[in-house]
Structure 1
């Protein structure tokens, strides 16, 4: 097996440790703990900070006991992988450190974490109590929103905000059972307060965030803050920071957002359909998600920012463990603040199924706009970008008409498929699987269901099968030529295209057939095989060197 290369420099997941003077056991274990409490990574023992390999100390050249030493000196035990590697003529050790699934300490009680400094260089820093609590929440091991807030009393809960909560249940279609409860029963049902060992009740973080007095939030929950900003042509048109309780915050944000969200109407059959700059349902869900799922151990505001090209919503705290950009649509809900999320679901403010991301996708795609963009999300922040480009009215009419025919909304996978076909023109099941974040089998079922509904058209068979929007879809947009270009040509036309190309250029390769006829590689191979068997082309060379020419006058 080829030894792994030495990384060029240190990073969040790479640490170099000199061993010329024999790195102490405690320093070695602390370096492992720092990596385990971040993203895991690799510790290179016998390498200087500048990346120069200088080799292992004589006492470390037998690596057999190093893994056992680290496991015995960490809590919970960290199982590392140790490999001897020769670099530039000297022996060093590569120690693979897994990411811890809880906070890790040395057996001496030292908590450290690896982090990046402001200049992008890494360091190992003390892991303070709030860092440990944040990490536990990240892994779903603790729920700060269900805990009592130190120093808070029931007097810090605002009767006016309780009334707003009840009105929100009615407005958003929440759990109407809540409307029948008195204050104490409501607190218990939503986890707004908790009972201490002495029998007294005190507010939880959920209670303060939902119905707390603004002054109490300022004093007792200093990490809670949100901002609404409007930037136009690089000028600041609106820039306000607030610390309202969450239901008031949502009302305030929506009220200030509406003037910047113009709406027009289009006629679809007998109905007039509103076309806003940003779908209000998607806006509400995205903002509520940011406020509910932010990390309340970290300072920093939830930002709602409008500029010339879109709406950006960001919140402190990266995606929780197990949630990635590649499974946002399909993973089971994993709320960082479970008690707060459950309370907001019962009030009706956020999607009760936990599939709020679907609602955000739907609010973008049904108008023919790009899908939500989470690509700027990192370990510290979740960042969502919603483009405010013009709606595609023809696509919206297609969706509204189909939903009217079905009597229900399109499944999110079907909507994503139609949107992808609208943008990319042609898709295979493997390509769609990436878009819907599911297995190719599910992607095929989605496309075949759309085929049966008459919304898409299939081309080819078996593994080479691809799909385009059906002709009627393009005709509805007044662009019949677009369908002709994207649906491709008949088999006869493909043959004529290839033969014409060979007459002009002398030969053709399979890759050129793929590009010329817009076929998949297997389809191009089958086309060339048919032409060869019919004697209309002659194969020259084999495998990668194969190309095809017209037969000479004496052939065929």
Structure 2
């Protein structure tokens, strides 16, 4: 839910004419104006409250026009607070209790309504059921209402009886379960892996009170699970995103077998790029980090909605990996809070059984792991989006492939262990490779934390063990300074920093000017002049020698004492015309 500072910042942007209210609306912030009659105003705000309550809550600012900017955007509101709260309570079912605060901005009286996330599915008295998505209120289908109702009441579709007997358990699936249990570090679970089959099923809690398997047990361990799609998982590999699929695989249930075999298919088509660190360690950078794939596929299989009767679909190419799971994200989770909202299981019994066998521990350690592993491999962060507009809503996770950014991968590998494994740190580094400086407010959207928590992250990175960033001199006394990469970080990241790159013509000019003035140049000078590391300095000198602009003039052939002077192609000064 937007914090007061975020609301104040939005109002300030409107007052300064830099943004309109419509452009500032998002998943948790909306702007409204009074309608011609109070009755219409109360009805519209009740509908907006329902919309937010069925999502993750939000803030409605009443008295600001959508399309205007400057002082004229602040039209003010005449609604009475007590009456407004009472009417929203009366016009919604179950009744929604909102808090309302009165503020003054640019001479106008505004009302700020805070709508909490609901504990039920809410509707207006007229039967309208909507849910907030980005800056829109979208109508909910019957299956959406049923799904949200189950999730908020804690009802678990997979805890119901499947009608299947325990003798229907697939032998290969049970072998996989036993193997996973025996490899877990927990002694009690290792012992379970050696127990009788009925005891294993009881330990997984997948036996219903009537003696049959639950739907969780059927999906996890049986072939041809009823009530779900015939194909649980569909995989296609394409040499390029637009080419015909050269490999296609389809798996039904049991889910435990589909997952294991899909990982084998992935592993067979993932290459590696060797990267040497300054300490002499060699890293093997995967085309797609297998840890990120496990997380993305695991979330799709455990949290996708099997009631949609559609499979998890995978589109794999060297350029991108797209995993599409049926249904939206679990209630309360959005792409804007997915890193920090915490784990919420759509089907607690299925997830619990997977956790018991050690499968969930292997493949579902948190979405932040997926983000972290992508950055550590020198690639862009994953994108997560929900397709609500289509007939068949789906959650889509995309991992970008292509050659890794070796400089970023090497830089991350050489960070202190604590920062190397910290998702916030890696996201800040990636952002500062694109922006010269950032504030806590800008970074907060990236790390998905509030501004005070984000400021604490930035201060730690500026003063902790890593000392990756620093506040700029002109903003150091501010509450939220501008932060930039320190010189050592810039040097280590080199060309990975977009604004730090220098054109070849600029490099040529500076090197030639230096040699003209001092007659020689060496690696240390290159490093100092261009703020690069020894490897980049070596490449720059090698390029000049290859073009015969420079030539080695010292007797030393290696080390810091090697000097270079003008070569046969060194540019001569043109005489000035009189």
TM-score over 0.5 (shorter chain): yes
Shift in alpha-carbon separation, 1:205–1:326, aligned structure 2, 3 A: same
Whole-angstrom CA distance in 2 between matches of 1:68 and 1:459:
50
- TM-score when scaled to structure 2? 0.60
Shift in alpha-carbon separation, 1:68–1:310, aligned structure 2, 3 A: same
Whole-angstrom CA distance in 1 between matches of 2:499 and 2:140:
58
SS of 2:324's equivalent?
strand
2:395 to 382, 392, 402: 382
The Cα of 1:386 is off from its aligned counterpart by 0.8
Per-residue CA deviations over 1:458-480 (Å, capped at 9, x if unaligned) read: 31313362222222233234559
2:252 to 227, 239, 243: 243
Shift in alpha-carbon separation, 1:376–1:297, aligned structure 2, 3 A: closer
Per-residue CA deviations over 1:365-413 (Å, capped at 9, x if unaligned) read: 112211111135447221111111321112111211114xx47843211
Whole-angstrom CA distance in 1 between matches of 2:494 and 2:374:
23
Following superposition of structure 1 onto structure 2, how do residues 399-414 of structure 1 map, counting pairs within 5 Å?
Answer: 399-403=412-416, 406=417, 409-414=420-425
1:146 to 159, 164, 174: 159
Whole-angstrom CA distance in 2 between matches of 1:220 and 1:480:
50
1:267 alignment counterpart? 276
SS of 2:306's equivalent?
coil
The Cα of 1:168 is off from its aligned counterpart by 2.5
SS of 1:139's equivalent?
helix
2:486 alignment counterpart? 470
**Is 2:53–2:116's contact at 8 Å kept on the other side of the alignment?**
no
The Cα of 1:228 is off from its aligned counterpart by 0.5
Per-residue CA deviations over 1:91-138 (Å, capped at 9, x if unaligned) read: xxxxxx99975357999xx999679xxxxxx9897x4xx666423334
Whole-angstrom CA distance in 2 between matches of 1:337 and 1:439:
29
Shift in alpha-carbon separation, 1:185–1:485, aligned structure 2, 3 A: same
SS of 1:386's equivalent?
strand
Following superposition of structure 1 onto structure 2, how do residues 353-502 of structure 1 map, counting pairs within 5 Å?
Answer: 355-378=365-388, 380-403=393-416, 406=417, 409-451=420-462, 452=464, 453-460=466-473, 461-463=476-478, 465-478=481-494
The Cα of 1:227 is off from its aligned counterpart by 0.8
**Is 2:495–2:501's contact at 8 Å kept on the other side of the alignment?**
no
Please tell me whether residue 102 in structure 1 is matched to residue 120 in structure 2: yes
**Is 1:174–1:346's contact at 8 Å kept on the other side of the alignment?**
no
The Cα of 1:143 is off from its aligned counterpart by 1.0
Shift in alpha-carbon separation, 1:211–1:413, aligned structure 2, 3 A: same
2:289 alignment counterpart? 279
Aligned residue-pair number: 412
- TM-score when scaled to structure 1? 0.62
Shift in alpha-carbon separation, 1:162–1:478, aligned structure 2, 3 A: same
Whole-angstrom CA distance in 1 between matches of 2:270 and 2:445:
32
Shift in alpha-carbon separation, 1:111–1:409, aligned structure 2, 3 A: same
**Is 1:169–1:176's contact at 8 Å kept on the other side of the alignment?**
no
Shift in alpha-carbon separation, 1:432–1:478, aligned structure 2, 3 A: closer
1:326 to 325, 336, 343: 336
**Is 2:329–2:386's contact at 8 Å kept on the other side of the alignment?**
no
2:170 alignment counterpart? 158
The Cα of 1:72 is off from its aligned counterpart by 9.1
**Is 1:154–1:203's contact at 8 Å kept on the other side of the alignment?**
yes
2:204 alignment counterpart? 190
**Is 1:263–1:274's contact at 8 Å kept on the other side of the alignment?**
yes
Whole-angstrom CA distance in 1 between matches of 2:496 and 2:401:
27
RMSD: 4.7
Farther off after superposition, 456-465 or 385-394: 456-465
Farther off after superposition, 97-106 or 253-262: 97-106
1:299 to 309, 314, 318: 309
Whole-angstrom CA distance in 1 between matches of 2:152 and 2:120:
7
1:86 alignment counterpart? none
Unaligned ranges ≥5, structure 1: 1-12, 14-30, 42-64, 81-96, 116-121, 487-556
SS of 1:275's equivalent?
strand
Unaligned ranges ≥5, structure 2: 1-29, 31-46, 59-82, 99-114, 132-137, 503-578
2:180 alignment counterpart? 168
Shift in alpha-carbon separation, 1:233–1:370, aligned structure 2, 3 A: closer
Whole-angstrom CA distance in 2 between matches of 1:111 and 1:203:
38
1:290 to 300, 304, 308: 300
Shift in alpha-carbon separation, 1:454–1:131, aligned structure 2, 3 A: closer
Shift in alpha-carbon separation, 1:224–1:293, aligned structure 2, 3 A: farther
**Is 1:315–1:382's contact at 8 Å kept on the other side of the alignment?**
yes
Shift in alpha-carbon separation, 1:396–1:159, aligned structure 2, 3 A: same
SS of 1:326's equivalent?
coil
Per-residue CA deviations over 1:492-533 (Å, capped at 9, x if unaligned) read: xxxxxxxxxxxxxxxxxxxxxxxxxxxxxxxxxxxxxxxxxx
